[in-house]
A and B are shown apart, each in its own frame.
Chain A
Amino acid sequence: AQSVTQLGSHVSVSEGALVLLRCNYSSSVPPYLFWYVQYPNQGLQLLLKYTTGATLVKGINGFEAEFKKSETSFHLTKPSAHMSDAAEYFCAVSGPSGAGSYQLTFGKGTKLSVIP
């Protein structure tokens, strides 16, 4: 069965500081991994995804994530936080029908606050 654990339901960073949002997954098949962002009163937007190949993936708005199989992790980072990054972030893993399946298992989300 697939599962996603996001460590920390709330994370606060100062503007200009490093953003690190943690995601660990469990998957019975080779995973595809995703990060989505949700701004207040809006739907989710796909930030980035890992399918195969390069383990460091770059997404929109300066975010990137690294797939580490040995650690079953897919942490999201951004070198310098901007006020506009304040939102809720969701990590997701595809499956269990297999990588690339429409069935996504989402984490509970991490709300990012950026302090001026």
Chain B
Amino acid sequence: DAGVIQSPRHEVTEMGQEVTLRCKPISGHNSLFWYRQTMMRGLELLIYFNNNVPIDDSGMPEDRFSAKMPNASFSTLKIQPSEPRDSAVYFCASSFETGSLPQHFGDGTRLSIL
């Protein structure tokens, strides 16, 4: 079975541009997580969805960040406008139990904002 699929794997763009990261969770999983990983701050939970509904977005840094899950097989994380400090690796993870810990991570999107 395919794991969590993220695209693109790498993104380089200029400051001020809109960035959209995509995630396809494992089929049948009802929980989806977006994480950000940086050297300075480590792994941070940005947002948690359950059954396509955002349950906890307290980790979203500011209004420039938004996330959607229009259906059970697709989620996006959007940054508009992007800033150099948004440069990080962004991970999507999914699990099949409500409220459970993230079990399966995608390989991440490495984002560089110039």
Contact = CB atoms under 8 A, between A and B. Distances in A.
B57 interface: no
A54 to B, nearest CB: 19
Contact of A94 (B56, B101, B104): B101
Contacts of B91: 43-44
Interface residues of A, number: 20
Contacts, number: 49
B105 A102 contact: no
Contact of B106 (A32, A43, A100, A101): A43
Interface of A: 32, 34, 41-46, 49, 90, 94, 100-104, 106-109
Interface of B: 4, 31, 33, 42-43, 45, 48, 56, 91, 93, 99-108
7 contacts: A42-B107, A43-B104, A44-B105, A46-B103, A102-B100, A103-B56, A104-B101
